[in-house]
Structure 1
Amino acid sequence: MSAETLTIKTADGSFSAYARGRGPAIIVIQEIFGINQVMRDICDDLAASGYRAICPDLFWRIEPGIELTDKTDAEWKQAFDLFGKFDPDKGIEDIAATIAHAHGEGAAKVGAVGYCLGGLLAYLTACRTDCDASVGYYGVGIQDRIGEGGKITKPLLLHIAGKDQFVPPEAQKMILDGLKANPKVEMHLYPERDHAFARVGGAHFHREDAEMANNRTMAFLEKHLG
């Protein structure tokens, strides 16, 4: 099944999305680098596992078509600049529009998987949308919105890196303490891992823990979207 470029319409305008595969839909939520090869590879892997993977361009309001890597200082600077300009509330509106698009294509169930910035957005997707199951990897800033956790009524899985340079121990404690009473929330801590430990080719990639997290994710998605 070849890749597609979708056009998703909102009240504020239209944006593109990378899509691949057929089956229950999963919205793949980008890191701060845009829809790059890492995100496309995740979509392709999900498609190979029997899902319809859709990765929306969430930076379109700032600059459409951003595609960066984590390999140069200049790209990191640009990525952090985009992160600073990005409005998560508008991002969730765009994710909700993507979920609606997936339903419009015929998907009975829709899940979400997000990384870094996308990890925060996966959490907010669980709080604010009708997404059937959401997964967040090392989300940045969840502790600042922990008060919304009471709105989660559908399954959420969070992978937390114990030595995340962007999520200090006190923030991790706020997340764990703030969500542990919600039976819809499942959390796993990877004590020795740094941020982006599941990003293939990244500086902190750890194969064994990435495989553990990804296996947990696939089992979670199969349970709730299958």
Structure 2
Amino acid sequence: MDIIKEIKGGLIVSCQALEDEPLFGSANMALMARAAKEGHAVAIRANGKDDIQSIINETRLPVIGIVKRNYQNSDMYITPTIVEVDEVFAAGADAVAVDLTNRLRPDRISNSEFIKSIRCNFPKLMIMADISTYEEGIEADSLGVDLIATTLAGYTSYSKQDDYPNYDLIYRLSEKLQTPIVAEGRINNPAEAVRCLQNGAWSVVVGSAITRPQLITKRFTEKIKEFYKSN
């Protein structure tokens, strides 16, 4: 459980690029992770076996691994089945982040069965539960996960939709549970990251605001366009 102590009060950087993005590729993500390390990130969240392995070799930081995979019969896409968990484990990640929302899993097993299967097959792999609501966080805690992340708040059809981090969800879960609550989702600047910590977050995950330059650039260009339209 040393990784939990290592990430307390720190910034975890999500280094991901999908196939249609300019920085796609494990070599690029390894360099992105190195840059994050130089900025004093305490851990990296990474997608896919190749990226995970490259980032571990490059940084030696703790890595929370995921595999994003779409299934036609389910809305889940973050490490939704034991197949993806196996890929994360084989890549050497310290922890696996899994979708633990109330949506139907591709293999139709329950969240309880899923967590039991991970514990049975990969007993040394830490589990981060990606949830979207307070009730899902409570269930994740009851299933004995190691970390609970607010990653999917606002990304399920039934969770609160907002342009900002769900500070209330972070606060309520951290007040209620002993399991560390990791703030993730829609954190766009340092002030928002600090506010998440003030609301009880154990640590903070930031992705797009740091590691997707095309989106960062777009934020600037849109503001510039707004300026010219209003003048």
In the superposition, the TM-score normalised over structure 1's length comes to 0.39
Structure with the higher strand share, 1 or 2 = 1
In the superposition, the TM-score normalised over structure 2's length comes to 0.38
* Larger gyration radius, structure 1 or structure 2: 2
